[in-house]
């Protein structure tokens, strides 16, 4: 039985453009801490092999402190480490993979063709390949068919399983079926797949270990795997320091401040939040004030107003009055409008009604 860790898509030194410069720098430091947590996990689980299936770096430009911590972390590991450069960090003469000296137990694949590395002391063999540029339209597996040598066979590849026409190393189900591997460690997709199987090959991608935006929400981490060459099991291990979370908060019939405050008291202040306020509102929302209220309760928070005017208001559009004609016309415009235009038109309705009824203008 071999115990292994499978990680991918660390994207170290990501720019985090959506955050302030100070927060972006802090998030890059938190990304580096993933390496320490990976090493701690390897020691706790006594992992014998670690697979890093591509996009370890976000680009070819890597900060010195990141490389220093990576080298120090890898030096301290007892496990065999395999790295397959991906589309964000391809193997080139100027890449850190080629320029720096790496420990003897770290193998970085440098060929677009599957390389074979035997681990006699583990009774295992590992295959892998590398991106040599940001794009490749051929398969990283390139007709790989592992030999039946009585060894537990692994693959470590970065590639796209979503379409055979991908520019990021397309890998098809048929290729996985005939590759003959016992476990195929993949990278590229940023959401964890869970364990998959085609033919006799188990495979998975763990997703990214730390979310970087609202397209990478929820818990993030790596896989702990065990296989004897016949059966394979995977456990998901959370590794992320923070989560990106998108939530809908229905404020119908509530004071918006109270509804938001109640939600925030139950939220994790480490999270990065995007809160969509939904439901019916009685008055215009002051998003700036609500954002100020929410700010101390999260690492970063943005609010979106996706509320609507009360349905009871629209019943008046059937009146044979100037107010009815106005509401009927605006209801049709709102129904045909884009989400961005809808908010503007609904505010126009409130101003129009105030003018027709001689009320104070909405705030």
Q: Express as a percent the part of the chain with pLDDT over 70.
A: 99
Tell me the pLDDT tens digit for each residue of 144-164: 999 888 999 999 999 999 999
**Interatomic CA distance for residues 53 and 82, integer angstroms:** 8
Two tokens at 102? 């790496």
Residue with tokens 């065990």: 226
Determine if the pTM surpasses 0.95.
Answer: no
Structural domains for the chain: 2-238 (3.60.21.10), 244-357 (no CATH)
Counting as low any pLDDT under 70, the low residues of the chain are: 359-363
Residue 35's nearest CA partner among 64, 73, 61 is: 73
Tell me the pLDDT tens digit for each residue of 225-266: 999 999 999 999 999 999 999 999 999 989 999 999 999 988
Partner residues linked to 41 by β-bridges: none
SS3 278: strand
Residue 16 region by backbone torsions, left for phi larger than 0, else alpha for psi between -120 and 50, else beta: left
Residue 317: the pLDDT is 81
């Amino acid at each position: 039985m071999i115990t292994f860790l499978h990680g991918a898509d660390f994207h170290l030194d990501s720019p985090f453009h959506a955050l302030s410069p100070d927060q972006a720098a802090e998030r890059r430091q938190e990304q580096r801490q993933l390496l320490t947590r990976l090493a701690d996990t390897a020691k706790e689980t006594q992992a014998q092999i670690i697979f890093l299936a591509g996009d370890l770096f976000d680009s070819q430009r890597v900060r010195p402190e990141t490389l220093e911590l990576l080298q120090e972390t890898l030096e301290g590991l007892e496990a065999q480490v395999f790295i397959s450069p991906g589309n964000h960090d391809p193997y080139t003469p100027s890449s850190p993979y080629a320029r720096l000296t790496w420990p003897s137990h770290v193998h970085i694949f440098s060929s677009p063709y599957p390389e074979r590395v035997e681990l006699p002391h583990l009774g295992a063999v590992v295959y892998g390949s590398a991106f040599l540029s940001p794009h490749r339209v051929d398969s990283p597996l390139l007709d790989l068919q592992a030999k039946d040598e009585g060894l537990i066979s692994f693959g470590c590849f970065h590639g796209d399983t979503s379409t055979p026409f991908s520019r990021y190393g397309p890998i098809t189900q048929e290729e996985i079926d005939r590759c003959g591997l016992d476990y195929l460690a993949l990278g590229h997709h940023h959401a964890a797949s869970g364990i998959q199987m085609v033919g006799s090959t188990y495979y998975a991608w763990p997703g990214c270990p730390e979310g970087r935006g609202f397209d990478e929400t929820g818990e993030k981490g790596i896989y702990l795997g065990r296989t004897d060459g016949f059966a394979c099991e995977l456990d998901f291990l959370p590794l992320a320091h923070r989560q990106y979370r998108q939530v809908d908060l229905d404020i119908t019939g509530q004071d918006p401040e109270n509804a938001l405050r109640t939600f925030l008291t139950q939220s994790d202040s480490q999270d990065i939040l995007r809160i969509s306020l939904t439901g019916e509102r009685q008055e215009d929302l002051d998003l700036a004030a609500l954002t100020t209220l929410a700010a101390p309760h999260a690492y970063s928070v943005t609010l979106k107003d996706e509320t609507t005017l009360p349905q009871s208001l629209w019943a008046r559009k059937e009146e044979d009055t100037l107010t009815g004609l106005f509401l009927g016309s605006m209801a049709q415009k709102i129904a045909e409008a884009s989400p961005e235009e809808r908010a503007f038109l609904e505010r126009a309705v409130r101003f129009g009604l105030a003018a027709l009824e001689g009320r104070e203008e909405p705030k």
